[in-house]
Chains A and B, each alone.
Chain A
Amino acid sequence: MSFYRGMTCENVTINGYGGSPITAYVAKPTGPGPFPGVVLIHHLPGWSELYIETTRRFAHHGYIAICANLYEREGGGSDGNPDDVAAKVRADGGISDAQMVGDTEAAVKWMRAQPNLNGKVGLIGSCSGGRHAFIYASQKKDVDACVELWGGGVVMSKEELNAKKPVAPIDMTSGLSCPLLGLFGNEDRAPSPEQVNQHEAELKKQGKTFEFHRYDGAGHGFFYWHRPMYRAEQAMDGWNKIWAFFGKYLSK
């Protein structure tokens, strides 16, 4: 495995849902490439330092990476405090799935326009971003592999559906257009192990290519090194699963 300690990082502006300009953080490994690409979808706490850092982590491993600020419209522009903006988004019931798809599509297009891309683009998200990644890969056909980390709200009751979330992601499974890797903690409540079972059963029913890994001794967000929910052993194994999965499907 090669590491790319040299990299170029910057903010770029992309035209998101409805043509609205939004900011995205990009990290590009130094070198001629060609490199595979990864589009990151941030979690509910927003366009936070964790996601900016994780974007750089992908560049370190030889991927061109981009993470769009899905909450830019909700306040503060690109300089907004992620914590405050995320609290506002929480109060507003989250962002709409349609807006997320539009913004993510813009990030994928940016990626596909990079001259040193190897032609392969992966998608990854955690928490709400895991749910979002699954939705995107089920609605669009322009990503080559998808990683869903403990996506909450893939299974939804009818009472939970609303204008922003009109369709339960599990009901979009037939549209999944690429291989899926799912990582889950068995002590999580959102998604619960039962919901992960339902998610898996629907993927099997639809004949999709996927692999799910479930970890004992881990709950929600076990990659988050700054939170008490961090589980080092499970997180390192999970990262190795990601490198293997993207290595398999994004190399050319």
Chain B
Amino acid sequence: MCTSIIEIARAEGMAKRGDQWFPLSQTVVAYDHARHAPLGDVITLDFFNTALGAEARAGVELTLETAKELRAALDRAIAAADYEEAEVRGKGAVPRLVLVA
């Protein structure tokens, strides 16, 4: 890539390409020239399964601005999910009053 800006994270889950879902192994985040979006430089998200070959990929190209909005949305959803998880499991949740019959 021309920018050298690239981050790779482990991924567990699945992604859809066409009408087929495939299991994921990694997510690659880069800032590089857009390949398809009619834009200049973009944040690219590539969801891969490296064991399944290059075609096991779901790609996204986002403007920097909308990538920031995605990050904020992820942060909000993850914070809410963390709270939900903690509450369900009974550890780490902020104590709440419970009505006892």
Contact = CB atoms under 8 A, between A and B. Distances in A.
A94 B3 CA distance: 12
A149 B40 CA distance: 18
Contacts of A94: 1
A128 B28 contact: no
B38 A84 contact: no
B33 A91 contact: no
Point out which of B3, B40, B54, B57 has the most chain A C-beta atoms below 10 A from its C-beta: B54
Contacts of B43: none
Given A44-B1, A45-B35, A83-B59, A90 B54 contact: no
Interface string A75-114: 1100011011111101101100000000000000000000
B33 A220 contact: yes
Interface in B42-61: 44, 46, 48, 50, 53-55, 57, 59
Interface string B22-50: 00001010101111101110001010101
A252 interface: no
Contacts of B48: 87-88, 91
B8 to A, nearest CB: 6
B2 interface: yes
Given A44-B2, A190-B2, A219-B40, A87 B34 contact: no
Q: Assign chain A's interface to a size class.
A: 20 to 34
Contacts of B20: none
B99 to A, nearest CB: 52
Contacts of A84: 54-55, 57, 59
A238 interface: no
A93 B35 CA distance: 17
Contact of B59 (A44, A80, A87, A229): A87
B54 to A, nearest CB: 3
Nearest to B28: A91
B6 interface: yes
A29 interface: no
Contacts of B54: 74-76, 80-81, 84-85, 87-88
Contacts of B28: 87, 90-91
Contacts of A91: 6, 8, 26, 28, 46, 48, 50
Interface in A211-241: 219-221, 227-229
Given A76-B54, A227-B38, 6 more contacts: A75-B54, A75-B55, A80-B54, A88-B54, A91-B6, A221-B33
13 contacts: A45-B35, A76-B55, A81-B54, A83-B36, A84-B54, A87-B46, A87-B48, A87-B57, A90-B28, A90-B32, A91-B28, A152-B2, A220-B33
